[in-house]
Amino acid sequence: GEDVEQSLFLSVREGDSSVINCTYTDSSSTYLYWYKQEPGAGLQLLTYIFSNMDMKQDQRLTVLLNKKDKHLSLRIADTQTGDSAIYFCAETNQAGTALIFGKGTTLSVSS
Amino acid sequence: GAGVSQSPSNKVTEKGKDVELRCDPISGHTALYWYRQSLGQGLEFLIYFQGNSAPDKSGLPSDRFSAERTGGSVSTLTIQRTQQEDSAVYLCASSLWGGDEGTDTQYFGPGTRLTVL
């Protein structure tokens, strides 16, 4: 079945780069997504990448997609304390009716 | 513009009672989704509405859960005879189908935190 895997925790120092990794199973997903969730808040769409792209850059965010290995990563440059949150990777289910989420990676940024 | 809104933001109920959770999608969005976020299970899909099509109910965990969407806009998720394991944050999302790149992107509301005592 469809599944999305992420590492659960990442700790970095302010100013460093953060890289959050994700693997997925459904190669038919047209788009792959990264969402951010701050404590007590809903999910905020960070960025998405079309499945025929290898890379997408959006300000401090870089998404890399390796479709052969079904591996997606999110790089945050110059990580700030405000980036501390849970980051979810998601793919679309085969029916195209829902997102399948990973368990989320908790990013902790220390000053 | 206004995002997805949900009410109430918090709901505390007693085991066995029925609850109704409301979602107002982004104006013009034709697709609406309900998810549940709990500590043990992460984010789980519950139900999906798209226009006038029959909803995809494949994620509903039991027949105590139901949802409707009136007039293609507002949706209500109803949980009957609530159980303690229903305690979770219920998230609603909406998306715009049939447009350009990324328009099936889902935008989420702030959620309703349900606590069943």
pLDDT at position B100 over 50: no
**Rounded distance between C-alpha atoms, residue B20 and residue B11, angstroms:** 9
For residue A26, the cross-strand partners are none
**Cα angle B111-A75-A7, degrees, rounded to a multiple of 5:** 65
Secondary structure of residue A82 in the 3-state scheme: helix
Task: Tell me the chain A residues in contact with residue B102 when contact means C-beta distances shorter than 8 Å.
Answer: 31, 48, 50
Residues paired with residue B79 on neighbouring β-strands, in sequence order: B19, B65
Asked if A101 lies within 8 A of B105 by C-beta distance, the reply is: no
Pairwise pLDDT comparison (A96 vs A83), residue with the higher score: A83
Q: Are B75 and B93 in contact (CB under 8 A)?
A: no
3-state SS assignment for residue A83: helix
**Does residue A90 have a pLDDT over 80?**
yes
CB A108 within 8 A of CB A9: yes
pLDDT tens track for B65-75: 999 998 879 99
Report pLDDT for A3.
87
Residue among A10, A33, A17 nearest A99 (CA): A33
Tokens of A7: 């590492």
Residue in this structure with the two tokens 């949150």, named with its chain if needed = A85
Which chain B residue is nearest to residue A5, measuring alpha carbons? B42
Edge-to-edge strands of the sheet including A55-58?
A4-6, A18-24, A71-76, A61-66, A55-58
Q: In this prediction, what percent of chain B has a pLDDT beyond 70?
A: 94
Look at residue B19 and tell me whether its pLDDT is greater than 60.
Answer: yes
* B14 alpha carbon, distance to own chain's centre: 21
pLDDT at B104 over 90: no
> What is the band of A29 on the pLDDT scale with cuts at 50, 70, 90?
confident
Among the partner-chain residues B59, B101, B105, the one whose CB lies closest to the CB of A98 is: B59
pLDDT bin (cut points 50, 70, 90) of residue B86 is very high
Rounded Cα gap, residues B2 and A102, in angstroms: 28
Q: How wide is the angle at C-alpha B59 spanned by C-alphas B54 and B64, nearest 5°?
A: 90
CB nearest B110 (choices: A42, A88, A103): A42
- Per-residue pLDDT tens over the stretch B22-37: 999 999 898 999 999 9
Verify whether the Cβ–Cβ distance B102 to A104 is below 8 Å: no
B111 and A CB contact within 8 Å: yes
pLDDT tens digit sequence for B29-63: 989 999 999 987 789 999 999 888 889 999 999 99
B37: Cα separation from own chain's centroid: 11
Looking at beta carbons, which residues of chain B come within 8 Å of A95? Answer: 56
Instruction: List A4's β-bridge partners, or say none.
Output: A24
pLDDT at res. B101:
47
Share above pLDDT 90 across residues of chain B, in percent, rounded to a whole number: 73
Secondary structure in 3-state letters for B25-85: CCCCCCEEEEEEEECCCEEEEEEEEECCCCCECCCCCCCCEEEEEHHHCCEEEEECCCCHH
Q: Are B116 and B83 in contact (CB under 8 A)?
A: yes
Q: Which residue of B has its CA nearest to A93?
A: B45
pLDDT at A98 over 60: yes
Question: A36-63: per-residue pLDDT in tens?
Answer: 999 888 899 999 998 888 999 999 999 9
CB contacts < 8 A, A to B, total 55
